[in-house]
Amino acid sequence: MALSNRIRLTIDRPASMLSMMKWFAKQGVPVFPIHSVADGICSCGDRDCDDQGKHPIGQLAPKGCHSATTDLKVIRKWHRAFPDMNYGVATKGLAVIDCDSREALDDFRRTYKPAPTFTVKTARGFHFYFLGEMPARNGARPNLDVKSGPGCYVVGPGSIHLSGAVYSPWEDEPIAQLSEAIREITAQPKDEAPLASNGPIPVGMRNTTLTKFAGYLRAAGANQRAMLETLKALNRSMTDDPLPDREVRQIARSISKKPGKVWPTLVPFSEIPDENLEWLWYPYVCRGTLGLLDGDPGDGKSQLCAWLCARITRGDALPGGDRSKPANVILFNFEDLKGAVIKPRLIANGADLDRVFIQSRQFQLTEEMVAWLDGEIADKRPAVVILDPIQAFMSGVDGNSNIDVREFMSPLAEIAAKYLCAIICVRHFGKSEQDKACQEKS
């Protein structure tokens, strides 16, 4: 057998590694180059690499383990290009049982009684090689992974682990047939989301899984093209039976219509235009800003809003100010009856009813509805938009979390600035202790 012995491995690693790769290739097991570790740094150059000495060399194997080959000419070429590389053994047609601890090894031997087979000593345990495929699964048993099929690989013997340990042949046996007993390890499907396993995406989950990834990418700021390229790669590498490109394009197109992440940029003050605060009602309500109107229930906040709406629609001067041009107002009120309570209130204050707008039905200020609101404000050009009470628009937002509230408020503040309108959020304090505490803090 062309297997090198362990002594030779320690003397002339590159030569013995090449001979090991050839040994695999000659029996139809494809191999491919993966990064190695020198002085504690992965050869990919990333000091924070979280898969040191174990991930494919992208320039040589762009499709990872799917770039693996049995072509000796290609293997020699790879090895010449990166003599210090490690290599992966693609588990196409193979099953490799990866025992990562002494206990896992004892458990595997005792429970499944493996026939003598080609075995590699790893940094912490052993790789048992078998001919035949079975469902792959990480953590199939404690500290035991099953790598099998075209989508998986193991680090090949002759490679060097991050710790400096050499993956070395331990049992110099031919690769044995996979036994029925060992197949039992992953015979029972595991109740687990398909994303959590390292195996291929099941055929029925391809679209759902890729759509989920597209959503993550979009949220992280990817544009349609970047999403498409990434989805294509995922589609190739994560499934044995990839979706047609047409369907992948469709996913990228539909997800790219969702609002993506807009990164903030840094702007020098020389480019910040001079602005004057335009007070609608000094010093309470300012154009282009978001304001809060706080108070206990029953202390007249809604009355105050009706009074404010009325004066703005007529162009009446507010206390301490001047007359202005009559303007529109949008009054979102989810608490009071439109016809029986709000309208009489507006009439009593003398509002121009053609200039005060109210929602036809209730809604939550989701991302989609903020976009809708933006459109309505662009159309009606109100001087003031009132959200009464703001809590009613915030379902799913933790009102006690500063982060959640800020995230909710910031798109509203942007709209206020964009259209130079004042957005007033009416906040009712509840009677609960928690809300009282909140009130005292603010």
Q: Which is nearer to Zn ion, 78 or 393 (CB)?
A: 78
Q: Decide whether 49 or 60 has the Cβ nearer to Zn ion.
A: 49
Q: Which long-range contacts (CB under 8 A, 24 or more apart) does 361-368 make?
A: 362/334, 362/392, 363/393, 364/393, 364/394, 364/395, 364/396, 365/393, 365/394, 365/408, 365/412, 367/259, 367/411
Minimum distance from CB of 8 to Zn ion (Å)? Answer: 28
Draw the binding track, 251-290, toward Zn ion (x: CB under 5 A; -: no contact).
Answer: ----------------------------------------
H or E, element range at 321: none
Rounded Cα gap, residues 293 and 198, in angstroms: 52
Q: How far is the CB of 46 from Zn ion (least distance, A)?
A: 5
Whole-angstrom distance, CA of residue 143 vs CA of residue 170: 19
Is residue 42 part of the contact set for Zn ion (CB under 5 A)?
Answer: yes
Task: Give me the least distance between CB of 53 and Zn ion, in Å please.
Answer: 7
Which residues have C-beta within 8 Å of that of residue 261, sequence separation ≥ 6? 218, 219, 220, 221
C-beta of 58 vs 297, nearer to Zn ion: 58
Q: Are 136 and 151 in contact (CB under 8 A)?
A: yes
> In terms of CB distance, is 44 or 306 closer to Zn ion?
44
Nearer to Zn ion, 37 or 351 (CB): 37
Instruction: State the number of binding residues for Zn ion (CB under 5 A).
Output: 4
- Which residues in the 46-75 window bind Zn ion by CB under 5 A? 49
The smaller minimum CB distance to Zn ion, of residues 49 and 226, is found at 49
Contact mark string toward Zn ion, 363..382, x via CB under 5 A: --------------------
Q: Which of residues 22-41 bind Zn ion (CB under 5 A)?
A: 35
Residue of the chain from 9, 21, 44, 68 that contacts Zn ion (CB under 5 A): 44
Residues sharing a CB contact under 8 Å with residue 53, sequence separation 6 or more, in sequence order: 34, 35, 36, 37, 42, 43, 86, 155, 159, 160, 161, 162
In angstroms, what is the minimal distance from the CB of 56 to Zn ion? Answer: 10
CA-to-CA distance for 160 and 157, rounded, in angstroms? 8
Positions that interact with Zn ion (CB under 5 A): 35, 42, 44, 49
